[in-house]
Amino acid sequence: MQWNVYLSGEIHTGWRRQVTDGVRQADLPVTFSGPITDHDASDGCGVQILGEEADPFWRDHKAAKINAIRNRTLIQTADVVVVRFGEKYRQWNAAFDAGYAAALGKPIITLHALEHTHALKEVDSSALAVAETPQQVVQILAYVTRGSPIS
């Protein structure tokens, strides 16, 4: 079985690269998907494609909905959803994705620093694994897909 893994959340550090590189090196049967991580494209796609908006609310609204075409579809087709919470910003979209995945019954792996444990307790309690490093995510995927962590 080829596993589809959706990488949700923070887009400002290189964690996605670390996870995908680790999986490639270990040659695991995993295909990745995720949101568009080009921040300007993601914020501007609504007005860029469908026309300008005077009100910032509707500008954001049009962008968020176009992104939702992508993201909800990919979460629905994922076998595992990894949700990353970083150090900055409020990242409500990451928590939203976790709730969305939880209601669909998708296995969730959260990835965040120990210091956010208390603030993320509801999210973590819906996860099947709580990781602190991208390497741990790779190890989990290695175990889950072939039974042996990477040595």
Rule CB under 8 A: which of 84-113 touch a copy of itself? 85, 89-105, 107, 109
Q: In 3D, which of 36, 41, 37, 19 has the Cα closest to residue 28?
A: 19
Tally of CB atoms within 10 A around 104: 13
* Interface with a copy of itself, residue 20, by CB under 8 A: no
> Smallest distance, Å, CB 17 to a copy of itself?
16
Rule CB under 8 A: which of 32-51 touch a copy of itself? 33, 36-38, 41, 45, 48-50
Rule CB under 8 A: which of 66-85 touch a copy of itself? 66-70, 72-74, 77, 79-80, 85
Structure tokens at 132: 């602190």
Structure tokens at 70: 């992508």
Find out whether 132 and 109 touch, Cβ atoms under 8 Å.
no
> Smallest distance, Å, CB 12 to a copy of itself?
14
